[in-house]
């Protein structure tokens, strides 16, 4: 890439972290632990340092001299940058090798000899609180167990009472396994510290550049690296999905080495490191219960959760909600009583808890409620679609207060499910299923009707490390009527360059191609909390609309002055103001922009710029109705998703093509955990499928043809009526697929299977029921 050092990145032009090449740049590779839990007895870097081109080998002890060996996490926990004595998970960073090329750094890494004294790790979160479990976080003074936090919401006693009296109760234990975001691009950075100016430019693959700048200042402030001396530039990113929100040790080591050597330092993970050391989501053990009447009226739900966060709680979660928005788990149904509790524990796994393409634990919560709803349908012999229709919150009940305290803004769940059922011919499929079952064939139909909760957030409720979760837009219209719009969010492929330009264009009438969108440079963009949890449209998208409207108000004043009429005499049409009843007396937005710099009304501030920091009054509550049809091979137990209809409701749609793209990608990331993906560790803490040879990420080959559609229920409080959409399909697809597979197997007494539902899992479940392949006919 041809560019001068520290040039401003233009987003959407293919400038990725690997393209950053600075003069005199050093390269870093990382020595990682083969053990999940071990004492470090010795690190011998003498052979590595003999390799020409190896500049240094950095250990935790080196960092300790500058008090840089620990760092805060985004959940107010602490994390080792490099260990001084103990490693806590397999693939943990142990030492960093700095060299003049990437290849020499890799040779140097192979030459570093580390002596370990392995210890028995804690791998099962259910045993992490046992009296004989070793206390893992001995760095925390007074810590006597592996408990991280307890969180609860709802009314425990009232829920107990409802459960005690209910006609029917169903209960299910389930595990939502640890999986990986597997973005196409791994994580990486270039830290460029200049001694002369005491200034750090940090190019890094981050979804939240401003928050990261603040955290770097908190970590390195004592070395004089204060926030105004730090510039974070997040270039184009090849997928984030939550995995590029946390701060990983590699970033901090690169900064420390650049600080110590005065040279730019580049660190880019390879695929295996990425898959083994960071960006993990889920790992939730859930017991979910539902109480109902015999006729299928849902009365209450109860959730008990155990969250495995690995050795530190490093995920980004709003401070007040350590289990994120798990409490959306009451679902799309109208009942008054619920109780949820969650406990998080430390284990010897890498830090987990990433909100993988979901609004902080919504995927886990929705899976639980949609599975238990089907479980109830099976128990009382009611069609799962009918059960949902009986219990939906009705269109006229919004705004609706959930038993866990949320106020759902709007929704029309009935319309969504009806549309999905019509599109897939639900009644026809059920008839076909009866015939197939009579012939002993395995066909299943699964439904998920989910409500999401996105757009964190109202700053009264949502902060990360105390930083309020608003977001921002700054629009500068130049004299010639072309605009620059900058945002506190950061696209990782969601197309903000297109949709934000569209919002400004729709609001101001400036053609979208004349609006240059920029994100990801803390020196130029207004402060914001970044892009994850489908929050960009609900927050920065709203900020773009309001900043545009501020400009329109100013434009009206300028137009009135130029046309010599009162403001009330003017009418707006996108792109121009004209005098009511005299459409030829007109000033275009371009003429108005020019006048703002050349001929503005006396007393008015010159220029044509506006900024807005948008603090939403509420979250937005998108919803979806998904229906999946599967056929299961009776000999191999391979599941074929024959059809999948996804009807989404994200309120007003800004760009239908982008939304459809978001839904297609998200559905594929939904079939992945439902049928293929799970990270597996043995009792010694070894990851058993830590390469893409063993960890099956579905491609176009495994993906079915997605049939998508939408209903539109605008958000009443968002300036455009829009709700987020980026994560809905990842949330809705797994329960729809799991429900379909269980539906296919229900005649054989199977009421639940944990995801990923592999052929082996189906085989084992049928075998456990004593079903042989000759006995499929009912």
Q: What is the SS3 assignment for 411? A: coil
Pick the closest to residue 450 from 327, 624, 667 (CA basis): 624
Question: Which residue from 15, 172, 402, 662 is in contact with ligand CDP, where contact means CB under 6 A?
Answer: 662
Rounded Cα–Cα distance for residues 228 and 213 (Å): 9
- Closest separation in Å from C-beta 725 to ligand CDP: 4
Q: 10 Å Cβ neighbour count for 122?
A: 26
Q: 10 Å Cβ neighbour count for 18?
A: 16
- Closest separation in Å from C-beta 467 to ligand CDP: 17
Rounded Cα–Cα distance for residues 206 and 188 (Å): 9
Which one of the listed residues 273, 474, 677, 727 is annotated catalytic?
727
Question: Which residue from 99, 653, 679, 766 is in contact with ligand CDP, where contact means CB under 6 A?
Answer: 653
Structure tokens at 104: 């020499």
662 or 708: CB nearest ligand CDP: 662
352 or 651: CB nearest ligand CDP: 651
Handedness of CA 527, 241, 506, 486 (dihedral sign): positive
Q: Is 502 a catalytic residue?
A: no
Q: Judged by CB under 6 A, which stretch of 39-47, 536-544, 579-587, 641-649 contacts ligand CDP?
A: 536-544
Question: Which residue from 537, 618, 669, 711 is in contact with ligand CDP, where contact means CB under 6 A?
Answer: 537
- Closest separation in Å from C-beta 539 to ligand CDP: 8
587 or 718: CB nearest ligand CDP: 718
- Which segments within 181-326 are labelled E, that is strand? 188-194, 199-204, 230-233, 265-268, 280-281, 284-292, 298-308
Question: Which residue from 340, 369, 551, 722 is in contact with ligand CDP, where contact means CB under 6 A?
Answer: 722
96 or 503: CB nearest ligand CDP: 503
Structure tokens at 177: 């396994």
546 or 654: CB nearest ligand CDP: 654
Question: Which residue from 128, 176, 219, 654 is in contact with ligand CDP, where contact means CB under 6 A?
Answer: 654
Which one of the listed residues 187, 189, 358, 628 is annotated catalytic?
358
Told to check if 719 binds ligand CDP by CB under 6 A, we report: no
- Closest separation in Å from C-beta 85 to ligand CDP: 40
Told to check if 410 binds ligand CDP by CB under 6 A, we report: no
- Which segments within 369-501 are labelled E, that is strand? 400-401, 407-408, 442-451, 463-464, 467-468, 471-477, 483-487
- Closest separation in Å from C-beta 165 to ligand CDP: 41
531 and 489 in contact (C-beta within 8 Å)?
yes
Q: Is 187 a catalytic residue?
A: no
Q: What is the SS3 assignment for 195? A: coil
- Positions 484 through 503 that interact with ligand CDP (CB under 6 A): 494-496, 499
- Which segments within 88-207 are labelled E, that is strand? 93-99, 113-118, 147-154, 168-176, 179-180, 188-194, 199-204
Q: Judged by CB under 6 A, which stretch of 190-198, 329-337, 368-376, 658-666 contacts ligand CDP?
A: 658-666
Question: Which residue from 724, 729, 732, 735 is in contact with ligand CDP, where contact means CB under 6 A?
Answer: 724
531 and 20 in contact (C-beta within 8 Å)?
no
Structure tokens at 423: 């599109």
Between the alpha carbon of residue 659 and those of residues 195, 662, 673, 724, 757, the distances in Å are 46, 5, 22, 10, 28
Residue 207 CB burial class (10 angstroms; 0-12, 13-18, ≥19):
buried
Q: Is 358 a catalytic residue?
A: yes
- Closest separation in Å from C-beta 76 to ligand CDP: 24
Pick the closest to residue 353 from 455, 243, 457, 277 (CA basis): 243
Told to check if 660 binds ligand CDP by CB under 6 A, we report: no
- Alpha helices, DSSP H, located in 132-192: 156-165
Told to check if 714 binds ligand CDP by CB under 6 A, we report: no
Question: How do strand 639-649 and strand 706-710 relate by DSSP bridges?
Answer: parallel
159 or 502: CB nearest ligand CDP: 502
Which one of the listed residues 92, 172, 207, 433 is annotated catalytic?
207
Question: Which residue from 305, 659, 663, 672 is in contact with ligand CDP, where contact means CB under 6 A?
Answer: 659
Place of tokens 């757009």: 455
Question: Which residue from 43, 358, 368, 658 is in contact with ligand CDP, where contact means CB under 6 A?
Answer: 658
Q: Which residues pair with 235 in a beta bridge?
A: none
Which one of the listed residues 357, 371, 375, 552 is annotated catalytic?
357
Question: Which residue from 655, 686, 751, 758 is in contact with ligand CDP, where contact means CB under 6 A?
Answer: 655
Q: Is 643 a catalytic residue?
A: no
Q: Binding mask 594-633 vs ligand CDP (x if CB under 6 A, - otherwise)?
A: ----------------------------------------
For 728-766, give the DSSP string.
HHHHHHHHHHHHHHHHHHGGGT----PSS--HHHHHHHH
Q: Judged by CB under 6 A, which stretch of 371-379, 432-440, 471-479, 652-660 contacts ligand CDP?
A: 652-660
563 and 570 in contact (C-beta within 8 Å)?
yes
Instruction: Output Rg (C-alpha) for the chain, integer angstroms.
Output: 28
- Alpha helices, DSSP H, located in 248-319: 249-261, 271-277
Structure tokens at 230: 């730090």
Q: How many residues bind ligand CDP (CB under 6 A)?
A: 24
- Positions 515 through 534 that interact with ligand CDP (CB under 6 A): 531, 534
Rounded Cα–Cα distance for residues 121 and 118 (Å): 9
Q: Judged by CB under 6 A, which stretch of 12-20, 171-179, 723-731, 757-765 contacts ligand CDP?
A: 723-731
622 or 685: CB nearest ligand CDP: 622
Place of tokens 């009382």: 380
Rounded Cα–Cα distance for residues 429 and 710 (Å): 21
Told to check if 535 binds ligand CDP by CB under 6 A, we report: yes
169 or 489: CB nearest ligand CDP: 489
Q: Which residues pair with 710 in a beta bridge?
A: 648
Structure tokens at 50: 């003999």
- Closest separation in Å from C-beta 712 to ligand CDP: 9
455 and 619 in contact (C-beta within 8 Å)?
yes
- Closest separation in Å from C-beta 547 to ligand CDP: 16
- Closest separation in Å from C-beta 541 to ligand CDP: 6
79 and 314 in contact (C-beta within 8 Å)?
yes
Told to check if 726 binds ligand CDP by CB under 6 A, we report: yes
Nearest 5 degrees, angle CA 529-CA 535-CA 540? 70
Secondary structure tally for the chain: helices H, strands E? 17, 34
653 or 744: CB nearest ligand CDP: 653
163 or 470: CB nearest ligand CDP: 470
Rounded Cα–Cα distance for residues 692 and 670 (Å): 18
- Closest separation in Å from C-beta 513 to ligand CDP: 17
Pick the closest to residue 281 from 29, 533, 81, 539 (CA basis): 533
Told to check if 666 binds ligand CDP by CB under 6 A, we report: no
- Closest separation in Å from C-beta 358 to ligand CDP: 11
- Positions 433 through 492 that interact with ligand CDP (CB under 6 A): none
83 or 538: CB nearest ligand CDP: 538
367 or 723: CB nearest ligand CDP: 723
Told to check if 385 binds ligand CDP by CB under 6 A, we report: no
508 or 755: CB nearest ligand CDP: 508
Told to check if 362 binds ligand CDP by CB under 6 A, we report: no
Q: Judged by CB under 6 A, which stretch of 117-125, 187-195, 576-584, 722-730 contacts ligand CDP?
A: 722-730
- Closest separation in Å from C-beta 508 to ligand CDP: 17
Residues catalogued as catalytic: 207, 357-358, 727
Q: Which residues bind ligand CDP (CB under 6 A)?
A: 494-496, 499, 531, 534-537, 541, 650-655, 658-659, 662, 722-726
């Amino acid at each position: 890439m041809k560019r001068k050092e520290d040039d401003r990145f233009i987003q959407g032009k293919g400038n990725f972290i690997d393209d950053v090449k600075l003069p005199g740049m050093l390269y870093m590779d990382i020595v990682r632990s083969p053990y999940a839990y071990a004492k470090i007895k010795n690190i011998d870097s003498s052979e590595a340092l003999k390799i020409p081109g190896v500049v240094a080998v950095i250990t935790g002890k080196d960092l300790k001299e500058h008090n840089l060996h620990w760092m805060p996490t985004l959940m107010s926990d602490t994390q080792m940058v490099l260990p001084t004595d103990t490693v806590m998970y397999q693939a943990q960073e142990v030492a960093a090798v700095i060299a003049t090329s990437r290849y020499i750094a890799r040779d140097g890494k192979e030459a570093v000899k580390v002596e370990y004294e392995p210890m028995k790790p804690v791998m099962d979160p259910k045993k992490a609180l046992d009296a004989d479990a070793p206390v893992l976080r001995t760095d925390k003074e007074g810590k006597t167990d592996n408990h991280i936090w307890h969180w609860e919401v709802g009314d425990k006693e009232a829920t107990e009472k409802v459960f005690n009296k209910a006609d029917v109760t169903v209960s299910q234990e389930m595990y939502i396994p640890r999986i990986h975001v597997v973005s196409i691009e791994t994580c990486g950075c270039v830290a460029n510290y200049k001694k002369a100016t005491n200034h750090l430019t940090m190019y890094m693959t981050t979804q939240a550049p401003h928050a990261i700048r603040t955290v770097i200042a908190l970590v390195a402030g004592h070395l004089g690296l204060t926030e105004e001396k730090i510039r974070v530039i997040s270039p184009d990113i090849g997928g984030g999905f939550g995995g590029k929100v946390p701060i990983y040790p590699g970033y901090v080591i690169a900064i420390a080495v650049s600080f110590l050597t005065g040279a730019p330092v580049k660190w880019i993970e390879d695929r295996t490191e990425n898959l083994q050391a960071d960006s993990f989501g889920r790992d939730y053990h859930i017991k979910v219960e539902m109480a109902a009447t015999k006729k299928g009226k849902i009365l209450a739900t109860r959730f008990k959760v155990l969250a495995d966060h690995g050795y530190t709680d490093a995920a980004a979660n709003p401070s007040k909600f350590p289990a994120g928005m798990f409490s959306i788990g009451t679902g799309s149904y109208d009942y008054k009583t619920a109780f949820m509790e969650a406990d998080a524990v430390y284990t010897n796994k890498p830090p987990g808890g990433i909100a993988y393409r979901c609004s902080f634990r919504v995927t886990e919560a929705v899976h639980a409620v949609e599975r238990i709803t089907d479980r109830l349908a099976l128990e009382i012999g009611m069609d799962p679609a009918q059960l949902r229709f009986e219990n939906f919150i009705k269109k006229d009940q919004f705004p609706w207060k959930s038993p866990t305290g949320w106020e759902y803004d709007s929704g029309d769940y009935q319309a969504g499910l009806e549309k999905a059922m019509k599109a897939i011919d639900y009644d026809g499929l059920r008839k076909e299923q009866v015939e197939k079952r009579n012939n002993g064939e395995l066909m299943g139909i699964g439904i998920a009707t989910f409500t999401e909760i996105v757009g964190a957030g109202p700053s009264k409720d949502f902060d990360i490390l105390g930083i309020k979760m608003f977001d921002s837009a700054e629009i500068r219209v130049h004299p010639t009527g072309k605009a620059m719009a900058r945002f506190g969010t950061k696209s990782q492929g969601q197309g903000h360059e297109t949709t934000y330009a569209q919002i400004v264009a729709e609001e101001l009438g400036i053609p979208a191609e004349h609006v240059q969108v920029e994100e990801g440079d803390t020196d130029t963009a207004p402060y914001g909390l970044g892009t994850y949890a489908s929050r960009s449209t609900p927050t920065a998208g709203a900020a773009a609309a309001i900043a545009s409207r501020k400009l329109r108000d100013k434009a009206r004043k300028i137009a009135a002055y130029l046309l010599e009429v009162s403001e009330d005499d003017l009418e707006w049409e996108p792109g121009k103001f004209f005098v009511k009843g005299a459409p030829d007396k007109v000033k275009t937005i371009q003429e108005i922009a020019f006048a703002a710099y050349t001929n503005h009304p006396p007393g008015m501030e010159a220029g044509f710029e506006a900024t807005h920091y948008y603090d939403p009054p509420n979250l937005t509550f998108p919803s979806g109705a998904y229906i999946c049809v599967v056929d299961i091979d009776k000999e191999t137990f391979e599941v074929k998703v024959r059809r999948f209809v996804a009807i989404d409701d994200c309120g007003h749609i800004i760009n239908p093509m982008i939304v459809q793209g978001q839904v297609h990608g998200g559905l594929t990331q939904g079939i992945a955990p439902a049928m293929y993906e799970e990270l597996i560790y043995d009792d010694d803490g070894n990851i058993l499928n830590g390469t893409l040879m063993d960890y099956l990420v579905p491609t176009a080959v495994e993906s079915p043809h997605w049939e998508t559609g939408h209903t539109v229920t605008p958000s009443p409080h968002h300036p455009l009526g829009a709700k987020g959409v980026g994560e809905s399909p990842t949330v809705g697809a797994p329960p729809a697929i799991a429900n379909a597979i269980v539906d296919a197997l229900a005649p054989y007494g199977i009421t639940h299977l944990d995801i990923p539902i592999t052929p082996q899992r189906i085989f084992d479940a049928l075998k456990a029921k004593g079903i042989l392949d000759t006995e499929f006919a009912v």
